Structure 1
Amino acid sequence: MSAVNPFDVPQDSPFGPDNLPYGVFSTGGGARRLGVAYGDHVLDAGAAARATGAAGELAGLLEAPSLNALLAAGRPAWRQARAEVAGWLTEPGHRAAVGPCLVPRDEVALHLPFEVADYVDFYASEHHASNLGRIFRPGSEPLTPNWKHLPIGYHGRAGTVVVSGTPVVRPCGQRKAPDEAVPSYGPSRRLDIEAELGFVVGAPTPLGSRVALQDADRHVFGVCLVNDWSARDLQSWEYVPLGPFLGKSFATSLSPWVVPLDALTHARVEPPARDTELLPYLDDGGVRPPAGLDIALEVRLNGHVVARPPFSAMYWTYAQMLAHMTVNGAALRAGDLFASGTVSGPERDSRGALIELTWNGREPLALPDGTGRSFLEDGDEVTISATFPGPSGTRLSLGEVTAVVQPPAP
């Protein structure tokens, strides 16, 4: 139910004045517009810019049909836009002009908030990597020798990043179980999720340059939620020697709201203590503010909470991921997306993927309806949500990313 007065949003609202995440919306099948979530409403940012007589350059950025123009404009423009939007929504003198630009959130369709330029997925959780090592290499060291020296990642497929609510069709491909002599073709039998955070890149860099740890915030615009769907049987057969391919590229779901990095001031924490000496370009001991983030994720399967992964437990930070991603001179583009990899904590109920939660299917989850799950079945709905600390003890929201699994295409 929308508030009678859309401006009466309490300070502790998940989408209150200290959050102001950006997205793209439409109404009635019309044109796509840049919006800002505020309480139970969405602010039409371009319309508000026109109604308040905002400066021409800022108005042009907010009137665009996606976030990409604002992303490319860089941090000074991001801060100016955030300050202007906050003023329009909280200063009484703007209410007459801005009121008509607020649309009830239950009346809008939400779309992918930006055009994804490139997509990179990391493997930044020590708990997740260790669990997979114990599952697949029992009796050996859980982590590979390189894991604590660099943030491991792979390049994904930008064209199959989809917005929350888009159905995920069960992928087909080659799979070979350990007890099978030869591979077979067919639908994945081991469809999984990965609860992750995504980091949206704004300011681009030229080819051949590098982004230092202390400069990460000049290039990272904000944070969103990611479900990096994984066909574990396809993945296990194909990944040697070059890594993930068809087992990952069929769909990556993204939340519709991008929370600006400036909204996460109170979520900054030190990353976990490290027991390996890092090379200078990854050594963040003197970098301030710290790039660890206190973000609490929640994973629900068919409405039932199955995990609460803590992002604060992640070994590698977003600044280290970005520094490593560009240390070879790879250029950044506005709209680049890099994800953290599965977020997992030390406890069983803090693991962010079914392969960990069920220990590769050997310990199925029991659901309230009496059924169990080792991996996903057709018709299953997965929802990932997250909150983070705001000022004065408030909890702000990243929203959620959700999708229903559909049967494979004929």
Structure 2
Amino acid sequence: MLSEFHPNDPALRSFIEAGSTSHFPIQNLPYGVFSTPRKSTPRVGVAIGDQILDLSVIEKAGLFEFECFDSTLAKSSLNAFMALGPSTWSRTRRRISKLLQHDNPELRDNEQLRVEAFDRIESATLHLPIVVAGYTDFYSSKEHATNVGVMFRGASNALQANWLHIPIGYNGRGSTVVVSGTPIHRPKGQLKSASEDAPRFGPTTRLDFELELAAIVGQGSEMGSMLTEQRAEEMIFGFALLNDWSARDIQQWEYVPLGPFQGKAFGTSLSPWIVTREALEPFRVPGPGQAPAPLPYLQQTGQNNYDIQLVVDLVPAELQTARRIAQTNFSYMYWSPVQQLMHHASSGCSMQIGDVLGSGTISGPERSQCGSMLELSWNGAEPLGLGNGMTRSFLEDGDRVCLSGWCQGDGYRIGFGEVEGTILPPRDV
């Protein structure tokens, strides 16, 4: 008889080894969608160490004794599984954790099933884990918003009058949310410098990344309804790394009066692994103090931020060696994911399974903690040194950007893996 346990217990060990710096110990179990050479059909899996556990095999073998998933885990996205709701998410994670325990023989000692159920991550193709219903990007880092405001409006008018009262956001394009590793072509658009009398059309010269975290909505809400703090939290299935690529010169010309459009719509990279909200529970922290106090519908009683360490590595085209250019923490974020979701639905906007809510660029108080080239190079005025005489103000063709993040536990990490993308030249047509 196995002893009672909790999936977040730091003492848990799996028969699949995961070192202290692995992103995917038994305490994590992030969800993804993958295919392999031996089985080309995409299906749902969880990462454990350097392996993927094929949940469609576990389902078929009848090891989810408490649920009838009706082949939900054999589908090519997580949407159908997310639709089953929070209680099923919790029971499933608990059962997977139990199956992977080092002292549980059910899967450990079934050699034939193990061969069928496990694949190495490095040999798998990782797919976009969800069908994206909609994409909304927020602007929730006070440090980032202040930096941008100082650059373009001056220190005395850095934050717009509404910023401390409302989670600012815009509706982006779900159609160009792509999985990590998808190359990004340099976008074209209308450009106009201060010295030009009229705009011209051409490729951006100020291509940027944005270090973000995505909240993945796993439950919908009815049109016309509002959300409580508890309900908004329950609707969040998990979180994934996000890079909302930005063309700063296209954006600067177009954003008045309605905000970002083509300068953001060309590509948004999502990591292939979704870390569940339950796995992050031990790392909840309070966010920064909010003054003035938010309006009643936005007030929160829980600790809805997370202590997530985040890093940005840039691999310059001419060097092909990674340079760490930023390191920050999600705990700095002024508006929490729960507040973002509560605000999004407050007008009666219907939320859907598969909605992606971008946190907005995550920046800290120091220059080295900034989550965009715009800030790191101060809009190009102070190019970022990369060593060997190389500098960058914005991204060049051939550059590769890699974002990563993790929560540091006692002898283990809850990691998000990576989201990366390489800049390709603009298409001719």
Which amino acid in 2 is paired with 1:345? G
Change (3 A) 1:80 1:352: same
Which amino acid in 2 is paired with 1:275? A
Cα offsets for 1:323-344 (capped at 9, x unmatched): 0000011111110000100000
Structure 2: runs of 5+ lacking an equivalent: 1-13, 316-321
Q: Please say if 1:350 is aligned against 2:350.
A: no
* 3-state SS in 1 of match to 2:195: coil
The answer to whether the Cα contact below 8 Å between 1:6 and 1:40 also exists between their aligned partners in 2 is: no
1:7 alignment partner in structure 2? 16
1:136 alignment partner in structure 2? 152
Matches within 5 A, 1:55-204: 55=65, 57-58=68-69, 60-90=71-101, 91-97=104-110, 98-100=113-115, 101-204=117-220
The answer to whether the Cα contact below 8 Å between 1:149 and 1:278 also exists between their aligned partners in 2 is: yes
Cα offsets for 1:102-128 (capped at 9, x unmatched): 101111010100110000000000000
Deviation of residue 6 (structure 1)? 6.3
Q: Please say if 1:49 is aligned against 2:67.
A: no
* 3-state SS in 2 of match to 1:166: coil
The answer to whether the Cα contact below 8 Å between 1:46 and 1:59 also exists between their aligned partners in 2 is: no
Cα offsets for 1:323-367 (capped at 9, x unmatched): 000001111111000010000000010000000000000000111
Cα offsets for 1:51-106 (capped at 9, x unmatched): 24434523632222210011111101111111121122112232244512010111
Q: Please say if 1:305 is aligned against 2:324.
A: yes
Cα offsets for 1:364-397 (capped at 9, x unmatched): 011124211000000000000001133x353221
What is the percentage of aligned positions where both structures have the same residue?
A: 45
Cα offsets for 1:180-230 (capped at 9, x unmatched): 111110000100010000000011111111111222221000000000000
2:238 alignment partner in structure 1? 222
For these two proteins, the number of residue pairs brought into alignment is: 402
Which amino acid in 1 is paired with 2:28? N
The 10-residue stretch of structure 1 (135-144 or 305-314) with the greater mean CA deviation from structure 2: 135-144
TM-score by length of 2: 0.91
| Counterpart Cα distance in 2 of 1:6 and 1:165 | 30
Q: Please say if 1:379 is aligned against 2:398.
A: yes
Q: Please say if 1:405 is aligned against 2:423.
A: yes
Q: Please say if 1:396 is aligned against 2:414.
A: yes
Matches within 5 A, 1:21-40: 21-28=30-37, 30-40=40-50
| Counterpart Cα distance in 2 of 1:356 and 1:217 | 31
| Counterpart Cα distance in 1 of 2:327 and 2:196 | 36
Deviation of residue 275 (structure 1)? 2.1
Find 2:222's aligned residue among 206, 223, 226. 206
2:318 alignment partner in structure 1? none
The 10-residue stretch of structure 1 (57-66 or 229-238) with the greater mean CA deviation from structure 2: 57-66
The answer to whether the Cα contact below 8 Å between 2:20 and 2:413 also exists between their aligned partners in 1 is: no
Q: Please say if 1:327 is aligned against 2:338.
A: no
Structure 1: runs of 5+ lacking an equivalent: none
Cα offsets for 1:8-36 (capped at 9, x unmatched): 33576420110000001111271101110
Change (3 A) 1:11 1:326: same
| Counterpart Cα distance in 1 of 2:201 and 2:155 | 32
**Structural RMSD (CA):** 1.5
* 3-state SS in 1 of match to 2:427: coil
Find 1:292's aligned residue among 300, 305, 322. 305
TM-score by length of 1: 0.95
Which amino acid in 2 is paired with 1:66? S
Deviation of residue 232 (structure 1)? 0.3
